[in-house]
Structure 1
Amino acid sequence: MKKSLLITFIVLTYLIVGCTQEETMKESSEQNGKTEKVYAKEENTKGKKINEFTLTAQEKEWKLSPDKTIQALTYNGTVPGEEIRVKEGEVVKVHLKNTIKEPVTIHWHGVPLSNKQDGIPGVTQDAVPQGETYTYEFVANHPGTYWYHTHQNGVEQMDKGLYGTLIVEPKEGTNVDRDYTLVVDEWESGEKEEESNDGHMGDTHGSMMEHDMSSYDIYTINGKTYDNSKPLVVRKGDRVKLRFINAGYMVHKLHIPVDYRVTHVDGQKVNEPRKNEGTLLEIAPGERYDIEFKADGEGNFTIDRHGESEANHKMRVDVVYEEESITNQLNHTNSLETVDITKLGEGATAPFSLDDEFDIEYEMDLNATMDMSEGDMGMAWTINGETFPEVPPFKVNKNDKVKVTMKNDSRDNSTHPMHLHGHFFQVLSKNGEPLKGAPIIKDTLNVKPGETYEIAFLADNPGDWLFHCHDLHHASNGMVTMVKYTNFQPFYEDNGKVDNQPE
């Protein structure tokens, strides 16, 4: 009997101690692990050079071409808006002053800043009403080519010109002689709509399951057509950098008829970039590509857009030499090969690989459907069969390694340039084939019909972040989701005072 009692006592003691240890370990895990409260990072500006700007959102007449002037929405009166150019590690402090009737914001596209500075109405701030001022402040820790634009009803406000460029130069300098930024975009003249109303064109929006952009019939570089712009000037021997940014909603293919190298994608370096010989550079909405070439003095040349539209010959720019002796014009080659982002440079150590163990994996089925919610039949673009805000968010823990598979099944045959806020991601594979060349780090990736990409990112920037298609026609009609951090402590609450429209 005594022996039995002793055994029972030992067993009970073991169970109690074991349970206590388990609870202690659980509490410790909760305190130190993935259930602890997380906060938006603070921008540490102490002791750093502060570059201060004022960007005024204003309506202004803007001359796209000699025969077409529009009422544009601008930052500081120009399209694109004033260029912000700073050095790596410096502070960007911008006072946004709004003088137009609609509320506006500024989103710093591609910059992995604090969630507090992301400029998303209804998510990180109220949009700024007419007559009011709002200040953004962040440290430009990541050199590269970026841009800024409104995120309030962006499908309309950006379409009217409310965007600008942000260049963060590396501390060691760019090591180039000429540095030009070229923003491509497309505009509606209104003539297609007038023809349609007169019965001459029929339905300019195409068939029921077709995404049609034919009403965009003016193509520009830096807000101007070819016959309303100036050439890029170089000298023989110059090392020339061209920074291309797509601020529109269409994919543009630019033919560059000289040997060049793609040195950066979305601002991030390409390892040992390979030479491209007179190829087409394809730039999707939201993407940026930096190229470099040597001005060898063999002749002036033109960079132009390829495609079937009549507007193509307006999207071009001349590169001319200062030397009067160089007057010959280089002819375009017949090559129509498009630059392949999977073959931009040589292989190197990368943050992720397909062999990694990921904490979280998500799949995004990108598709289209007919929307009857408003009583009128129209297009809706979906993620996993849902439209925003009904799309379930990605839920991540701080420091999770996240893999996302994006597949474009859109029945309207449209492309989807998917943009992730607040993070860079690595492209792991395309259509099931692992990338073998230079690691490709981006924040915007164009997924064409039938294509599948695997990407990965580190969840190291707590907040509520948008992940959406940067053809804002698609975003404003559903193709938006969010990345939400577990136990994130909100700093903003939408109190309903402003009509916030995040897309």
Structure 2
Amino acid sequence: MSLNRRQFLASTLAVTALPRFALAAPHPLRAEPVVSQILDAGEGQTAGFGFNGSTPGPELRLRAGERLSVAFENNLPDPTAVHWHGIRIANAMDGVPGLTQEAVAPGGTFDYDFVAPDAGTYWYHSHHQSWEQVARGLYGPLIVEEATPPDVDHDITVILDDWRLEPSGKMAGDFGNMHDFAHAGRLGNFAKAILPEITVNRGQRLRLRIINTATARVFPLALDGIAGRVVALDGRPLPEPRDLSQVSLSPAQRIDVIGDVTDTVRFLFPTPEEAFVMGTLEPGQDPVTPREAPVAALPDSPRPTPSDSPRALTLRMQGGAMGGQHAGDDIWSFNGVSGLPDSPWASFDRGETARLRLVNDTAFPHGIHLHGHHFHEVNEDGSPGDLRDTTLLMRGETREILVVFDNPGKWLLHCHMLGHQASGMKTWVEVA
């Protein structure tokens, strides 16, 4: 389905506040059916899934080094589990049924308990039938603050998503159809930026934590009304703030922006014809004097240094419509193997560095996500580049990444276009 002008008009977008947890232990987190106002106010509502009565679920916010204890309860009609995306945690807490835990049955419970070692913008979401459960809204933001947060007036979480809806607001029920799985995934016909209902004033400094929670949509994103700098990608700080320009966010990727309000802050979806407004932050009537200090780099946590002699491996994406033959037994494969094999794709000693050559031999983009670790996207000169946990490869593209496998356990490696994962594009590695 294509996205039309009406579906992007900012004046008709329903903007909702993200509920938040106050710090207390353990946090109750309940997966359950919810009803949401996704379409414009006054139009039909949408039945889906959520946590604690809402979608997105409550914003979990804590400081780096603090422990998060979650008493999870599954009140859905189907099994599920919670994955903590991007957090460097113990393997048993990673939330991947079939690899790190059993799926939590309807009416069942599971206690997640881990320390969040690194400040950054993360999120949590279902990792069981995720191609459907995440599309129905089973996700929420996880924010880990720095010990000394940057000097800003507002710290704002922004969620980008799209939904496939009928005119009544009912969610289209064609989950898991083979056309979606074999092509670009479940692309919605209604998209927006979910923002808190706050007023920002000209001159105020904002931190925007932008998360793409869509199951398939690669969001092109531009901002105006803010003189900003990019300070972090996928939760990890950049060594130096970077100029803010149009970016593309794969499903699961995040970007942090800090900047000063100059006008209505607009979140734009650029197209060749025009830019559609997905959401806005409106300025109030009380402008303030902008800060003179430039946006500074965020403090970084210790990170391992890649070895000068990494182990070289190639991971080839294969299959899909117009993708040619492959040896796998499903729509998609990695290196000719579809789905999770009994043995890991590769095994590493703790602390070992690998240089993974990712090759997209398909006709569609893929966002490749590694659990439990961040990795460097390798620059053209061969040097380590940006740290990410999800890298976007367009059709026919090849990219190398450097990974220091320093977190022991069994870790999933998969496409975060969740229909592609469900139909074969996933594997796992083991770190001893």
Distance change in 2, residues 1:184/1:457 (3 Å): same
User: 1:281, 1:105 → 2: CA distance?
Assistant: 31
Question: What corresponds to 1:307 in structure 2?
Answer: 271
- Contact 2:304–2:404 under 8 Å retained in 1: no
The normalised TM-score by structure 2 is 0.81
Question: What corresponds to 2:339 in structure 1?
Answer: 388
- Deviation, 1:369, is 4.2
Question: What corresponds to 1:492 in structure 2?
Answer: none
Aligned: 1:235 with 2:201 = yes
- Contact 1:147–1:163 under 8 Å retained in 2: yes
- Contact 1:98–1:133 under 8 Å retained in 2: yes
The answer for unaligned runs of 5 or more in structure 1 is 1-48, 197-202, 223-228, 327-343, 372-377, 487-503
* Partner SS for 2:101: coil
Q: 2:284 aligns with which of 322, 337, 340?
A: 322
The normalised TM-score by structure 1 is 0.70
Question: What corresponds to 2:184 in structure 1?
Answer: 211
- Contact 1:88–1:140 under 8 Å retained in 2: yes
Aligned: 1:401 with 2:353 = yes
CA deviations 1:279-333 (Å, max 9, x no partner) are 322111010100111124xx324222123799x84x622222221689xxxxxxx
Q: 1:440 aligns with which of 375, 386, 402?
A: 386
After the TM superposition, which residues 336-351 of structure 1 pair with which residues of structure 2 at under 5 Å, given as runs? Answer: none
CA deviations 1:26-61 (Å, max 9, x no partner) are xxxxxxxxxxxxxxxxxxxxxxx9643111111021
Question: What corresponds to 2:416 in structure 1?
Answer: 470
- Contact 2:59–2:142 under 8 Å retained in 1: yes
Q: 2:220 aligns with which of 253, 262, 287?
A: 253
User: 1:99, 1:394 → 2: CA distance?
Assistant: 36
User: 1:81, 1:382 → 2: CA distance?
Assistant: 32
* Partner SS for 2:331: strand
- Contact 1:204–1:212 under 8 Å retained in 2: no
Question: What corresponds to 1:172 in structure 2?
Answer: 148
- Deviation, 1:116, is 0.8
Count of matched residue pairs: 382
Q: 2:132 aligns with which of 156, 175, 181?
A: 156
After the TM superposition, which residues 61-460 of structure 1 pair with which residues of structure 2 at under 5 Å, given as runs? Answer: 61-66=35-40, 67-190=43-166, 205=179, 210-211=183-184, 213=186, 216-222=188-194, 232-248=198-214, 249-257=216-224, 258-276=226-244, 279-296=245-262, 299-307=263-271, 313=276, 316-323=278-285, 356-358=308-310, 360-369=311-320, 380-390=331-341, 393-410=345-362, 413-429=363-379, 433-434=380-381, 439-460=385-406
- Contact 2:330–2:338 under 8 Å retained in 1: no
User: 1:325, 1:418 → 2: CA distance?
Assistant: 43
User: 2:273, 2:136 → 1: CA distance?
Assistant: 21
* Partner SS for 2:395: coil
- Contact 2:203–2:287 under 8 Å retained in 1: no
CA deviations 1:232-277 (Å, max 9, x no partner) are 521233211100101112100122124321100011000111323x
Distance change in 2, residues 1:308/1:73 (3 Å): farther
- Deviation, 1:459, is 1.6
* Partner SS for 1:365: strand
User: 2:183, 2:107 → 1: CA distance?
Assistant: 41
- Deviation, 1:450, is 2.0
RMSD, aligned CA: 3.2
User: 1:130, 1:445 → 2: CA distance?
Assistant: 34
User: 1:157, 1:211 → 2: CA distance?
Assistant: 18
Of stretches 459-468 and 234-243 in structure 1, the one that deviates more from structure 2 is: 234-243
Counterpart residue type for residue 293 of structure 1: G
- Deviation, 1:209, is 7.0
User: 2:47, 2:81 → 1: CA distance?
Assistant: 19
User: 1:379, 1:231 → 2: CA distance?
Assistant: 44
User: 2:312, 2:58 → 1: CA distance?
Assistant: 40
After the TM superposition, which residues 1-12 of structure 1 pair with which residues of structure 2 at under 5 Å, given as runs? Answer: none
Distance change in 2, residues 1:95/1:461 (3 Å): same
Counterpart residue type for residue 261 of structure 1: R
- Give the structure with the larger helix fraction: 1
- Contact 1:209–1:379 under 8 Å retained in 2: no
- Contact 2:220–2:269 under 8 Å retained in 1: yes
- Give the structure with the larger strand fraction: 2
- Contact 1:256–1:281 under 8 Å retained in 2: no
Q: 2:34 aligns with which of 60, 63, 77?
A: 60
Which protein has the larger Cα radius of gyration, Structure 1 or Structure 2?
1
Counterpart residue type for residue 105 of structure 1: A
- Contact 1:271–1:439 under 8 Å retained in 2: no
User: 2:205, 2:422 → 1: CA distance?
Assistant: 41
CA deviations 1:43-97 (Å, max 9, x no partner) are xxxxxx9643111111021110132422111011111100000011111000111
- Deviation, 1:424, is 1.1
User: 1:361, 1:143 → 2: CA distance?
Assistant: 30
- Contact 1:259–1:275 under 8 Å retained in 2: no
- Contact 1:231–1:318 under 8 Å retained in 2: no
- Deviation, 1:473, is 0.8
- Deviation, 1:366, is 1.1
CA deviations 1:388-410 (Å, max 9, x no partner) are 12496121122211111101110
